[in-house]
Amino acid sequence: MSWQAIARKDFQDALRSRWLLALTTLFVLLVSAAVYVVRPASGQTVSSNAVVNFIIVKDGLVTTLIPLIALVMAYAAVVGERESGSLKLLLSLPHSRSDVVLGKVLGRAAAIAAPVFVGFLLPGFILLLIPGVTFQPGYYLGYTFLTAFLATVFVAIAVGFSAAVSSQRFAIGGAIGIYFLFVPLWGVVRFPLQLYLQFGGGPSWLPVSGADLLEFLRLLNPVGSFKIVINSFMAGSLFASAQGVPSPRMQIAALSMLLAWLLAPPLLGLWRFENADL
């Protein structure tokens, strides 16, 4: 029961964070405002699915804020206690280092899931009250869960990095680097490479085509994989063939990549943490 105790304590500590409260409030207000702004004109009818699809995928509000909130919440999960000295006290109790990493991931994941569900609660009420919007509760709950899953993936990345480094300075730098790499900079780097590969560029010795390489780069970014899964889900074609959505093979690959990001960073961080001198 060691990791459960750590997860429970970490969940309670994370919920008391002022940064979490501020970012959650910002998230709720922006999503609510976006829902109201993209409401249908008088006399028109639109599904809640289409409204939220615009917010999540096209304007990138969710995929911009959720990774930021997750990284801010989790970057100091392990290294913060390591620097303060409380980690030695924690490990003097019947807790192993693997209990610490697992408990931190689960505790922080639960802590961010709570504001994600709260964050979609108010916009959900707004959608119910807007004339001309057909509310689809199953889809709404589904992409709320998927958004919480994206947050959990970035929590796992941050906790893994926090376990691997020895100071909060490195943890802060890593969180900033991870965020800018996966959110604003990925498309900037990918676009010229896409042009290069589409016009026949790329080394001939590569065992894959330029199109396959671009697909892999899209999948490698957890935000890109999330968009593939969420687009397919909201189109009602998750793991099924349909016009306008990625193929089932691509969808499975995207979900597999998200699971890999969920598991690999904590395991690699634990490997470094197990061999670290506290």
User: pLDDT tens for residues 67-80?
Assistant: 988 998 899 899 98
Question: What is the predicted pLDDT for the residue at 56?
Answer: 62
Q: In the structure encoding, which two tokens stand for residue 162, read together?
A: 């926090």
Task: Please state at what angle helix 222-234 crosses helix 61-74, rounded to 10 degrees.
Answer: 130
CA atoms of 169 and 267, how far apart (whole Å):
22
Question: What is the predicted pLDDT for the residue at 220?
Answer: 93
Nearest to 154 by CA among 258, 13, 270: 258
Longest dimension (CA), the chain: 67
Site of tokens 């697992």: 102
Question: What is the predicted pLDDT for the residue at 198?
Answer: 63
pLDDT tens digits along 180-237: 999 988 877 776 666 666 665 555 656 666 667 778 888 999 999 999 998 888 888 8
Percentage of the chain lying above the pLDDT 70 cut: 88
